[in-house]
Amino acid sequence: MQNRGRTPDNAGVRVRRYLIALTEPLVFVIVGLIVVFGSILMGYTMEHGHIIVLIQWSEFITIGGCATGAFLVSNPMSVVKGSIASVLSLLKPNPYNEKAYAELLQVLYDVFQKARKDGLVGLESHIEDPESSEIFKKYTFFRKNHHALPFLWRRWRRSATRFPASASWRRCSAS
């Protein structure tokens, strides 16, 4: 009996694709919704339809229920849980506020000043061991961000050695 593409890896890829689709910029979502609803309303009114007829609560319940049921039937439980978690995460406030951006600029300023004074070799001890670095100790939000520090490390490594960053950047993400 063949496993018809329902492997855990395939489910993980589908969840990642869905999560990537959720992170599209809000402007595209708004423009897309305007185009969809504008097309529906324009097409309906071009055929001399009355728009008030389209607002039927029983239709919304029927169509929404069918769409939800089809989503539940066609996706594995991991995708359903991931979708629910993603929708609920939209209700959380954005952790990247004005203070976080200011801290990022301060970190970059300190790193660039250190590179200007000591060269790229002077940065090596700070990037290799961010827990004991006096630059990164001052900025807790940046140091605790598990995406920012490895990103900075890889970019520094690439510019310092002109070779692709090795897998040792994962040491930074352990903190």
Q: Quick check: 115 and 121 in contact, CB under 8 A?
A: no
3-state percent helix, strand, coil for the chain, nearest multiple of 5:
75, 0, 25
**125: which residues sit within 8 A by CB, 6+ positions away?**
133
The answer to whether 120 and 88 are in contact (CB under 8 A) is no
Highest mean pLDDT among 39-48, 125-134, 138-147: 39-48
User: Reduced to 3 states, what is the DSSP secondary structure of residue 137?
Assistant: helix
Q: What is the number of other CB atoms lying within 10 angstroms of the CB of residue 143?
A: 20
Q: DSSP 3-state assignment of 71? A: helix
pTM over 0.75: no
The pLDDT value recorded for residue 14 is: 64
118-142: burial string, b at 16+ Cβ within 10 Å, e else: eeeeebeebbbebeebebbeebebb
Residue 124 tokens, joined? 């090596």
Distance of CA 22 to the CA centre of its chain: 8
Confidence of residue 44 (pLDDT cuts 50, 70, 90): confident
3-class SS of residue 1: coil
pLDDT band at 175 (very low <50, low <70, confident <90, very high): very low
Q: In whole angstroms, what is the distance from residue 114 CA to residue 120 CA?
A: 8
What pLDDT band is residue 77 in, cutting at 50, 70 and 90? very high
Q: Whole-angstrom Cα distance, residue 159 to residue 169?
A: 14
